[in-house]
Chain A
Amino acid sequence: MSRYGGEHMADEGLSRRRLLTAGAVLGAAPLAPAAADTLTGRGPPWQANATAEPDAPKGGTDYIFFTGPEHAFVEAAASRMIPKDDLGPGAIEAGVPLFIDRQLAGDFGKASDWYMQGPWAKGEKTQGYQSRFTPAQMYRAAIPAINDAANHQHKGDFSALKVADQDAFLKGLEKGDIQLSGGVDAAAFFKMFLQNVIEGYFSDPLYGGNRDMVGWKLIGFPGARYDQRAYVKTYGQPYPLPPVGVMGRPDWNRG
């Protein structure tokens, strides 16, 4: 032991991550002793039952963040961004709206990793995101503002418009041509929403989107395959294996 060993052994507490992990795995069960924050002479610490498992959303298919008008918009708009067509399933079939719902209900929605202290200013484009809205607040503010604008233009909520009108409206949002009330930057919201739709289509199925790996199958991405050594030098040859996710494959998991 060095002269410092044991002086500040962190039996005062688990590390935050391990505390969170333990909570996620064990629910309210008593917390097991965890790695000390002061490490001396014992080699790299390892902790049983402390693998940093992904923060997978709870099951079920009910919306927990979106209200009725909100999910009506999200479903309608996402189905225009990635439609079901002759190439295969789109955003709805992939579960993208539910994916976004769970993301907004979680850490992403709260911008819990972002720097969200004021003062606030619009800034230059090169200074990036400067909205005081968290993603959850952004969706909450944007959707009624979008429906207001849609009603103003077409006398109906976005979800009630003809698809051609929906497409034109989305293009107006994308370009920032449509002004939204409530302090919402239309182009900034569109950018975030489109990014979330693409995330829901191509992320690991454990987050609720990319259901049955339809996004991966569309393009030929094999997912979380750990050993590709046999396929490095198969120049020009199609890849032979189906995709797999962190949870495995549907045909492994379904009895």
Chain B
Amino acid sequence: MATKLPKTDVVVIGFGWTGAIIAQELTDAGLNVLAIERGQWRDTANDFPTTVAQDELRYYWRHGLFQKLQHDTISIRNNSAQTALPMRKLGSFLLGSGVGGAGVHWNGQVWRFLPSDLQAKSHNTDRYGASALQADMTIQDYGVTYSELEPHYDKFEYICGVSGKAGNLNGAIQTGGDVFEGPRAREYPNPPLDMPYAPMLFAKAAGEMGRHPFPHPAANMSRAYTNPLGVRMGPCTYCGFCEKYGCGNYSKATAQTTILPVLMKKPNFTLKTETEVLKINLAPDGKTATGVTYIDPSGATFEQPADMVILASYITNNVRMLLLSGIGKPYDPNTGEGIIGKNYAYQITSSVNVFYDKQILNPFVGAGALGMIINDFNGDNFDHSGLGFIGGGYIGTLQTGARPIETHLTPEGSPTWGSGWKKAVAQNYLKTTSISTHGAVMSHKGNYLDLDPTYRDVYGRPLLRMTFDFTDNEHKMSDYLTDRATEIAKAMGGREIKVNKRAGSWDVVPYQTTHNTGGAIMGTDPSTSATNKYLQSWDVANLFILGASAFPQNPGYNPTGTVAALAYHAADAIKGQYLKAVGKQMVQA
């Protein structure tokens, strides 16, 4: 029997980026906020100081900062005809855990979606006709516009101290920035990072072909920076351990380095770590959340009443929590009816390696979002007429740091072990770079999330089941991006190239990207979405569902910028509207 605790104003489930953002904003509004995080407290000084942070085996290959799957995992299959089996070890994506979530081990790639990305269905239908959408494609508009999100994108970029160069200031195109981006109100808070050799070789070749290269916007500091909350970060030292690692240097924006030093001092904020919410409790009418039930490290359960519940865990955990709590109608892929679990999407990646004979590139010098990019083939920045797909992605050379267990590229036809392999690795390590493509995944009727009928977590609860595969739209789009990348690779002046297309079904083994989306999507209509544009549940008015679970489909950009902008947008609405009419839907359907 759970022990009932005194009521609090707000309970936040999960304490990564979105949990920190919403807690900071709502405590500012005077609310008492309790955040509950199932993982551990972690911070730079104790957990990943520079003396131990640069350890490839520990942090990547032994999953030092990632979710421990023995506690719970997801089950996976490519289609409904297969039997889902548990993801027994991490591969394709690297789930986070603990305070800061996956935002501790991210690269710091901060993007805004294109205005047209947020209106993917109406935009593509208007421009290309309804027949441009593949059968069974279930894309929708986000129900929020770029101009509504612009101030919130801006706020996150300034919290993070993003290093970059604007390409569109209030409609005026800026040379050297991303000329395809939506208009931004002001320049990035910090100038671009210093650019190493390989990204410059990419930019030169791409520019000479008429493309529009620019520095990747990076939440890695190009100089010392104090954010609007008064939190200071240090300049990035290009140590090459961002992605999959904690930054020992206070140079990568995370909840810890931007918000927590302020939030953790507030008397109206409480954080419980190593405490896991088991379910969201509902009033008998099913339309109001009464709080949550959680379990502490000793195994004792508690009922925590709250006036408002914010679901702020990773997308897979958000969707599972809704399903386990009986909130919303589960999606049925056979009928297309139901909402929760629908429109799961991912991203599709490929690469082209360029091998040089003489150019020493020192690929170990790096930072998470350090590189040169083109968006000429992202979103609807190019004419898709006759191409047979919609969507796109960015193409670029990122130099995140070539840790050698992970990155020891060899040319086509090299042996995979033995003296021949050793020689190929030794000859090429310092003189090889890659162009990567990072493409959208649209939503499709057969790609969805639900509860697994067989496999259970440590508490005996069903795992989340993921049914997903790339469709023709993704493969055609990714091949098109790979062909464009190959053209640039050939112009980069190397000895040879190697093209790594993404062929076949989605495979859980090779790392691709931790950009899972959908399952609790936002929109304008309760019959086709789980939340309104303020991420307020249509079913439970005092429940807000943050994170990339809100994406109706996944554009060709990294999600965190939009995840954060949507969280700030929700926070503004809660403070400005919801608190004046507590318990009411902010949007009338």
Binding site for B on A (CB under 8 A): 1-5, 7-8, 10, 12-13, 15-17, 35, 37-47, 50-55, 80-83, 85, 87, 90, 107-108, 111-117, 119, 121, 123-130, 167, 170, 174, 194, 197-199, 202-204, 206-207, 215-216, 218-229, 231-239, 246
Contacts and interface: CB of A to CB of B under 8 A. Distances in A.
Given A114-B69, A235-B200, A246 B52 contact: yes
Nearest to B270: A40
A145 B443 CA distance: 46
Contact of A44 (B43, B240, B429, B507): B43
Given A115-B72, A218-B425, 7 more contacts: A13-B298, A15-B40, A15-B273, A16-B297, A203-B61, A216-B404, A218-B422
B416 A37 contact: no
Nearest to A81: B417
B273 A39 contact: yes
B272 A117 contact: no
Secondary structure type dominating chain A contacts: loop
B196 interface: yes
Interface stretch (B76-84, B341-349, B388-396, B556-564): B76-84
Interface string B385-417: 000000000000000001111001000000011
A82 B417 contact: yes
Contact of B405 (A55, A87, A199): A199
B239 A126 contact: no
B416 A113 contact: no
B419 A115 contact: no
Given A45-B41, A246-B54, A239 B362 contact: yes
A87 B69 contact: no
A225 to B, nearest CB: 7
A205 to B, nearest CB: 11
A45 B41 CA distance: 8
Interface of B: 5-6, 8, 32, 34, 40-41, 43, 45-52, 54-58, 61-63, 68-70, 72-73, 76-78, 82-83, 85-89, 91, 194-197, 200, 235, 237-240, 248-249, 256, 260-261, 264-275, 296-298, 358-360, 362, 364-365, 402-405, 408, 416-419, 421-423, 425-426, 429-430, 454-456, 504-509
A42 B432 CA distance: 48
Contacts of A45: 41, 43
Contacts of A121: 83, 85
B82 A124 contact: yes
Identify the 10 closest CB pairs spanning chains A and B, nearest first: A224-B54, A219-B429, A203-B57, A202-B404, A235-B197, A115-B73, A227-B237, A41-B267, A115-B69, A228-B238
Nearest to B236: A229
A46 B40 contact: no
Choose among A127, A215, A216 the residue with the greatest number of B CB atoms under 10 Å from its CB. Answer: A127
A239 B431 CA distance: 12
A226 B430 CA distance: 19
Contacts of A167: 418
Nearest to A132: B88
B454 A51 contact: no
B197 A228 contact: no
A147 B419 CA distance: 24
19 contacts: A4-B8, A15-B41, A15-B273, A37-B272, A37-B274, A40-B267, A45-B43, A50-B46, A107-B62, A128-B509, A174-B416, A198-B408, A199-B61, A199-B405, A202-B56, A203-B405, A218-B426, A220-B430, A235-B196
A228 B56 contact: no
Contact of A238 (B360, B403, B429): B360
B271 A38 contact: yes
Contact of B52 (A54, A216, A223): A54
Nearest to A196: B61
A224 B41 contact: no
A178 B266 CA distance: 64
Nearest to A45: B41
Contact of A236 (B5, B256, B265, B360): B360
Contacts of B360: 236-239
A187 to B, nearest CB: 12
Contacts of A16: 40, 274, 297
Nearest to A206: B55
A7 B197 CA distance: 56
A115 B457 CA distance: 9
B430 to A, nearest CB: 5
B51 to A, nearest CB: 7
Contact of B404 (A38, A52, A80, A215): A215
B267 A2 contact: yes
Given A219-B429, A220-B429, A83 B83 contact: no
Contact of B89 (A114, A194, A203, A229): A114
Contacts of B403: 221
A141 to B, nearest CB: 17
Contacts of B266: 41
Given A50-B46, A228-B237, A85 B422 contact: yes
A39 B61 CA distance: 31
B430 A17 contact: no
B405 A202 contact: yes
Contacts of A246: 51-52, 54-55
A126 B426 CA distance: 31
A52 B47 contact: yes
Nearest to A244: B54
A44 B61 contact: no
B426 A87 contact: yes
Contact of A126 (B70, B238, B272, B506): B506
Contacts of A228: 237-240, 364-365
Contact of A87 (B269, B423, B456): B423
Nearest to A194: B417
Contacts of A15: 40-41, 273-274, 297
B91 A128 contact: yes
A40 B507 CA distance: 43
A126 B256 contact: no
Given A41-B266, A51-B52, A87-B423, A219 B274 contact: no
A232 B423 contact: no
A4 B10 CA distance: 13
A127 B508 contact: yes
A112 to B, nearest CB: 7
Nearest to A3: B6
B402 to A, nearest CB: 7
Nearest to A119: B454
A108 B62 CA distance: 7
Contacts of A197: 417
Choose among A45, A119, A124 the residue with the greatest number of B CB atoms under 10 Å from its CB. Answer: A124
Given A39-B41, A221-B364, A235-B197, A229 B57 contact: no
A229 B419 CA distance: 34
Nearest to A99: B57
Contact of A8 (B32, B47, B296): B296
